[in-house]
Amino acid sequence: MSKATANKTMFKPYGIIPAVVTPLTQEGNFSEPAMRKLVNFLIDGGVHGLFITGTTGEFYGLTPEEKREIFSVTLDAANGRVPVYAGTNGITTRESIILTQLAEDCGIDAVSVLTPMFITPNQDQLIEHYKAVAASTSLPVLLYNNPPKTGVNLAAPTVAKLAEVPNIVSIKDSCGDLTLTAEYIRLTQGRDDFNVLMGRDTLIYGALCYGAAGSIASCANVAPRLCADIYDKFMAGDLKGSLEAQFTLAPLRHAFAIGTFPAVIKESLALLGIDVGPCMAPVGPMTQEERSKLRQVLIGMGLLQ
């Protein structure tokens, strides 16, 4: 019997939701002061939610105890101003359920569950995986498709079937294939209780044109107002302004190739005066040459003088 009792139409993910980095000290511990500063920077920048402990948040290197602290601090810092989403990703269904229940205990608003990585479950197994996670919680659940990272792809018919589960409310799609994203939207269109969020920052405008509800965007850590403009201007009917914001954002997303992910995001925030510390080893700092290239990108975008 599912624990989900609320009508899922009550919670609708929308807008620009930064995939928030996890601030660390030089010793590799979670930095509460840096997270609080970052949360205020993002909310002041006009974002519509916060997504923590995802891929950008280096979830794979965090213990459950560290995740509990990150959940609690972020919720306190956000103070109800925007919803807080948490990644509760695991290789096994059991692990995802444990983390999802931890998020619920902490008061998180919704969870995002990445497809299992390392193993390669088939579509029927993925359906059972997500059904089991959804049944374990009363929280809204977002599917998360990121085959470049996991090697596992959620097929469009699979997503359409999972959209019928009472508390599965959305999917974040980071596959980079707008055709597949559009299929997700086409097969679930007309449903008031399920929507699609873009997970590839260069395709936010395109996804909105197809009918997506917004984006969970890594670049929004660095350029929250610019990312929010893509959505806000689109919704206001200013398609030209929305597309211009998308084109302005593109160089930052392309700059991810300068360093090992998510170093470019953390280095960019440092250049903007928000020190979120290092990435988890073995990801090391960018070289001076790489940092110089990144600085030029930020200057070109008007984010740095």
Which pLDDT does position 115 carry in this prediction? 98
In a domain, 186, yes or no: yes
In a domain, 304, yes or no: no
The token pair at 163 is: 């959209």
- Asked about 67 being catalytic, the answer comes back as no
- Asked about 266 being catalytic, the answer comes back as no
Q: Which member of 85, 144, 210, 231 is catalytic?
A: 144
In a domain, 138, yes or no: yes
16 is in an annotated binding site: no
Distance of CA 228 to the CA centre of its chain: 14
Taking the chain (305 residues) in runs of 10, the rounded mean pLDDT of each run is 45 97 97 98 98 98 98 98 98 98 98 97 98 98 97 98 97 97 96 95 98 98 98 98 98 95 97 97 96 97 94
In a domain, 164, yes or no: yes
Kindly give, in sequence order, each residue whose CB lies less than 8 Å from that of residue 200, ignoring residues fewer than 6 positions away.
Answer: 173, 174, 175, 176, 253
Q: What is the pTM of this model?
A: 0.95
Q: What CATH number did the domain enclosing 210 receive?
A: 3.20.20.70
> How many domains is the chain partitioned into structurally?
1
In a domain, 276, yes or no: no
Which pLDDT does position 110 carry in this prediction? 98
In a domain, 242, yes or no: yes
Which pLDDT does position 4 carry in this prediction? 44
In a domain, 52, yes or no: yes
In a domain, 38, yes or no: yes
Among candidate residues 29, 24, 31, 21, the one with its CA nearest the CA of residue 277: 24
Q: Which member of 8, 37, 161, 172 is catalytic?
A: 172
Range of the domain at 210: 9-249
Q: Strand 15-18 and strand 214-217: pairing?
A: parallel
299 is in an annotated binding site: no
Which pLDDT does position 10 carry in this prediction? 73
